[in-house]
Amino acid sequence: MATSTDGSAQLQIRFISKQERYAVPDIPFSVPCNITCKDINVLINELLKENRSEDDFKDIEFDFLVCNEFLRVPLSEHLAERDVSSETVVDVEYVERHPPPEPHDCLLHDDWVSAVEARENWILSGCYDSTVHLWTSKGKHCLTMTGHTGAVKGVAWVKINPGVAVFASASQDQTAMLWEWNMEQNSVKCVAVLKGHDRSLECVAANPYGEESHISTGGWDTNVKIWSSSLDDAEEEKDDHLAAKKIKLGQSKFRSPKVTLKGHREAVSGMQWMAPDELVTSSWDHTLHVWNVETQTVKQDISATKSIFDVSWSPLSGCLITASADRHIRLYDPRSSEGTLVKGQFTSHNAWVQSVRWSTTGEFNFLSGAYDHQLKLWDTRSPKAPLFDLMGHEDKVLCCDWSNPKLMISGGADNTVRTFKAKQPV
């Protein structure tokens, strides 16, 4: 370790950036051992100014990756925590800092909001007063869907075609409903009631893969059920009492599940399709199951130490994140063949984490919502602290979504949906 003229300890760093427009000379620099992120920002901007002719150059905020994690403490402390020698040249990768999301809208409901999902320019929300709501991404209310007799715990877009959209809702009334929305007329009808669960439903997910149209549901009967979501596949309930009513034109038809997957021991809390025949589910029984739907078997069983309330899978990174009762968010790599499948733990919430969602455009970014009234934006390279706390909710955050890359969405027990404009580094 070198020493400066004033006697302070020095080390050598070399700057690396994958953003070519911000490249600086690839040579080692001697800096104080206790240099901070703020100090490195000043240094990088000075180097950029030296290599540019623009008189109007504005300072840029960067984050710095050392040993694949963002620098949040003095560099010497960061290296010591990772048992990295300060005698060698330390590579410091710098990336433009993620801009803070902007509060956008507050969508008012009459009861707790327990489900949200966006698609293109539309937002679905599910409410404890048994209703489903449809909004534009700009906050305009379009429709209220009634028909459920219990709290709506899950919503999912199935498909959006020109002029017509299909979506699903899952409720504590033990049913899911399939809805068809005529956009031009702004009218909606329930085209199928999905009956087969014996207890309350907690989640629903649409399969975006393959030619056939399917959705999955899970709930407190511990079962996962797969349904056709085709509008031409309605099947009348065989029950004599219901059959006597004969489904009239315009009325919804009852539909039975195509497949029932048994394996969880407690409530199924979350789910997401990973491939045409692959589904991941989370449960209060402390497990994640990755199912082969075609063979109706558990392809992979991942154990946790506490109840899992939600799961999200990223096709960009191939990793899973989970929301848990122990206040932690965990990152799993189901493809890992060495050591533990847990590749990261994120701790900042101080109450149950209820919902997690990956970004669809950034492989490192995800959202989390918890009972501490907080919605947080994370980067997997910063496990000790979120990038931002998104303020606004005055009660428990029950759900969140980032399906629209431009919009972060959350719903809570304060009867609101909060939306935030998501910005990406330029």
Element spanning 416, H or E? strand 416-421
Could you name the CATH architecture of 2-96?
A: Roll (3.10)
**Pairwise CA distance, residues 276 & 393, whole Å:** 36
Chain segment 245-298, per-residue pLDDT in tens: 444 434 458 999 999 999 999 999 999 999 999 999 999 999 999 999 999 999
pLDDT at 392 over 80: yes
Q: pLDDT per residue over 65-112, tens digit each?
A: 999 999 999 999 999 999 998 889 999 999 999 999 999 999 999 999
Domain layout of the chain by residue ranges: 2-96, 102-421
pLDDT at 239: 47
pLDDT score, position 242: 46
Residue 229 CA to its chain's centroid (Å): 23
Cα–Cα separations (whole angstroms), residue 139 to 115, 398, 423: 16, 19, 18
pLDDT average, residue stretch 39-56: 83
pLDDT digits (tens, 9 = 90+) for 224-248: 999 999 987 644 444 444 444 444 4
pLDDT at 1 over 80: no
Report whether pLDDT(60) > 50.
Answer: yes
Between CA 48 and CA 135 the distance in angstroms is 45
Q: Is 0.85 surpassed by the pTM of this model?
A: yes
The average pLDDT across 23-38 equals 93
Strands 62-66 and 29-32: unpaired
What does the pLDDT average to over 55-72?
88
Residue in 262, 280, 284, 263 with CA at minimum distance from that of residue 271? 280
Supply the pLDDT for residue 2: 52
Query: Does residue 57 have a pLDDT over 80?
Result: no
Topology of domain 102-421 in CATH is Methylamine Dehydrogenase; Chain H (2.130.10)
Q: Is residue 426 predicted with pLDDT exceeding 80?
A: no
Backbone angles phi and psi of 48, in degrees to 5:
-65, -40
Cα separation values, 354 from 288, 414, 422, Å: 15, 15, 21
For the chain, give me the number of helices (H) and strands (E)?
A: 3, 35
**What band does 172 get if pLDDT is binned at 50, 70 and 90?**
very high
DSSP codes joined into one string, 351-377:
S-EEEEEE-SS-TTEEEEEETTS-EEE
The Cα 276–Cα 211 span in angstroms is 9
CB-count exposure of residue 111 (10 Å: 0-12, 13-18, 19+): middle
Asked if residue 173 lies in contact with residue 146, where contact means CB atoms within 8 angstroms, the answer is no
User: Same CATH fold, 102-421 and 2-96?
Assistant: no
Q: Answer whether 214's CB lies under 8 Å from 271's CB.
A: no
- Per-residue pLDDT at 105: 96
The closest of 286, 317, 307, 397 to 350, measured between CA atoms, is: 397
pLDDT band at 3 (very low <50, low <70, confident <90, very high): low
Report the C-alpha gap between 81 and 92 in whole angstroms: 16
Contact 276, 210 (CB under 8 A): yes
Strand order in the sheet with 122-127: 113-119, 122-127, 132-136, 141-145
Check residue 97 and report its DSSP letter. P
Identify the band that residue 425 occupies on the pLDDT scale cut at 50, 70 and 90.
low
Mean pLDDT of the chain: 91
Contact indicator for 155, 125 with CB cutoff of 8 Å: yes
Contact yes or no for 311/322 (Cβ under 8 A): yes
SS3 393: coil
The yes-or-no verdict on residue 134 having pLDDT over 90 is: yes
